[in-house]
Amino acid sequence: MKMFAMMMAATFVAVSTTSAFAQDRVNALVGKLAAGDAVEGVFYSTLDFNSARVTRGSDLDYIIIDMEHHAFDAETLRQFLINVRTPDGNFPVTPILRLGTPGSEVHMQRWIFKQALDAGVMGIMVPFVNTAEEARQAVMNMRYPPMIDDAAPEPRGVRGWSPAVAANAWNLPVPDYARRADLWPLDPEGELLLVVQIETRQGIENLAEIAAVPGVGAIFIGPADLHNDLGYLGQSGVEEVEELMAQGLDVANEAGIAIGLTPAGRSLQERLDQGFRFMTR
């Protein structure tokens, strides 16, 4: 579902709780997912610095910076990320960027992945992923070529090397950034998260193969576009779509991958009770 949230100070609780495992990581969200926790975030389209500072004091686990339906601006993104970071150099709220590039165009748009990662984002959401090959191309875009004796050399990364800005954003020396800037859970020590967005019947039908691609870290269903794909433009809560989303939930649970969505006409708690655990408010 294409939903955006303007975040105001009164909306948030000032202190968030994280597990000890999450605190050991640069990307706290990865730690929570690895521990099997349910996580909550919001879509975000307002990239002013004051809002960034409000965000970092919130109880959110992550934000999805939307540059699918809003302009891609790498320089503003860099500045925003620095302001989401706390003065001690940590990211209590994990920044994920949703690109405008659909899965079918990922192999032709490697540059935009490179610029987003080089700005310092800790995750990328790719909309309209319909096949395992599209997911595999996204994995390749987010990884550096394998190092000598790499424990997980495939899918082979194609990301170019220019890590200075991202390393600074993560408050790490370049060698440490190079070691950590890989995809979890393909690399258990990786700090980058790939979120594939499933928004069509084809994507649901191919979800088992998509989830099996090494490097896919989370799945996010888009209820609005799934309704649109099935001919229910502008509607929500249609039973046929609910059945497909439940099918996607079963596939993700079988694969052991966190799956979520916007509540889409249900309460957040209802969706959590169904088993979705990568949620937006």
Predicted local distance difference test score (pLDDT) of residue 47? 87
Predicted local distance difference test score (pLDDT) of residue 4? 31
Give the residue numbers annotated as catalytic, written as ranges. Answer: 69
List, for residues 55-73, the tens digit of each pLDDT value. Answer: 999 999 999 999 999 889 9
Q: Where are the domains of the chain?
A: 9-280
Task: Supply angle C-alpha 130, 135, 140, rounded to 5.
Answer: 155
- Per-residue pLDDT at 24 exceeds 80: no
What are 181's two structure tokens?
């800037």
Higher pLDDT, 18 or 147: 147
Segment 168-191 mean pLDDT = 96
Q: How confident is the model at residue 101 (pLDDT cuts 50, 70, 90)?
A: very high
Predicted local distance difference test score (pLDDT) of residue 20? 36
- Per-residue pLDDT at 44 exceeds 50: yes
d(CA 153, CA 210): 19
- Per-residue pLDDT at 93 exceeds 80: yes
- Give the position of tokens 């949703």: 98
What mean pLDDT is reported for the chain? Answer: 91
Neighbours of 70 (CB within 10 A): 15
Task: Return all residues near 162 (Cβ < 8 A) that are at least 6 apart.
Answer: 114, 118
For residues 135 and 102, is the Cβ–Cβ distance under 8 A?
no
Q: Which fold has domain 9-280?
A: TIM Barrel (3.20.20)
- Per-residue pLDDT at 275 exceeds 60: yes
Q: How confident is the model at residue 3 (pLDDT cuts 50, 70, 90)?
A: very low
What are 35's two structure tokens?
């521990």
List, for residues 145-174, the tens digit of each pLDDT value. Answer: 999 989 999 999 999 999 999 999 999 999
